[in-house]
Amino acid sequence: MSDTAYFLRLALLLVLQILLLNLFNFSQYLTIFFLPAAILCVPVRRGGIYALAVAFIAGFLTDFFADGMLGLVTCALLPVGYARTWILRWIFGPDFFERGEDLSYRRLGFWPVLLALVLATLLFMLIYVWADGAGTRPFWFNLVRVLLSTLVSTALSLFTVSLFTPERQ
């Protein structure tokens, strides 16, 4: 996928994420994010610094335009950008980067892609809920919020990956 196509899709996804955060508050136990999937879908031919830059810009724009604490999404999204290479290398093998493939259900399989999404979303939610609660909420509340938010966000992230998957794959 070209960089222009990726950034157009990322811009659409950012607008949807900001609208979702501003207009829909489903529950105090549920926060929906599909930005970790967009970070996993950064073109593989780009390096880790590029993924970190995309994570920072996407997190900052979401923080700035969404109704929330400035820096919270950025704080949780940067570790996903940093761990992206490790997650993809661990699940798809070291030759994944040598082949230069992008994340795709058809080429890599549904279950490995789902596992990568669960890991990235879980990492994001753990940091987001920890930073959002700041030690003021009980452990069980935070645990339920992380698990429920990871489950729903991963389900929505499956559609996000299909948005970023090139048609020819």
If DSSP states are collapsed to H, E and C, what string results for 99-123? Answer: HCCCCCHHHHCHHHHHHHHHHHHHH
Query: For 68-72, what is the mean pLDDT?
Result: 86
How much is the pLDDT for 1?
A: 64
Q: What is the Cβ-side half-sphere exposure of residue 29, based on CA atoms within 13 angstroms? A: 9
State what percent of residues in the chain have pLDDT above 90: 54
Q: What is the pLDDT of residue 67?
A: 77
DSSP 165: S
Is residue 80 within 8 Å of residue 55, measured between CB atoms? yes
| Cβ pair 29, 145 in contact under 8 A | yes
Tell me the whole-structure pTM to 2 decimals: 0.90
pLDDT at residue 57 in the model? 95
Domains identified in the chain and CATH numbers: 3-164 (1.10.1760.20)
Kindly tell me if the per-residue pLDDT of 167 is higher than 60: no
How confident is the model at residue 133, as a pLDDT?
A: 83
Half-sphere CA count of 25, side-chain side, radius 13 A: 5
| Digit-coded pLDDT (tens) for 157-166 | 998 888 877 6
Instruction: Give CA 35 to chain center in angstroms.
Output: 4
Which of 55-64, 131-140, 145-154 has the least mean pLDDT? 131-140
pLDDT at 47 over 90: no
Structure tokens at 72: 């919270």
In percent, how much of the chain has pLDDT > 70? Answer: 97
Give the pLDDT confidence score for residue 169 in this predicted structure: 44
**pLDDT score of 159:** 87
Tens of pLDDT along 91-147?
Answer: 988 888 788 777 777 788 889 999 999 999 999 999 999 998 877 888 899 999 999
Distance CA 133, CA 49 (A): 29
Give percent helix, percent strand, percent coil of the chain, each to the nearest 5.
Answer: 75, 0, 25
- Tell whether the model's pLDDT for residue 28 goes beyond 70: yes
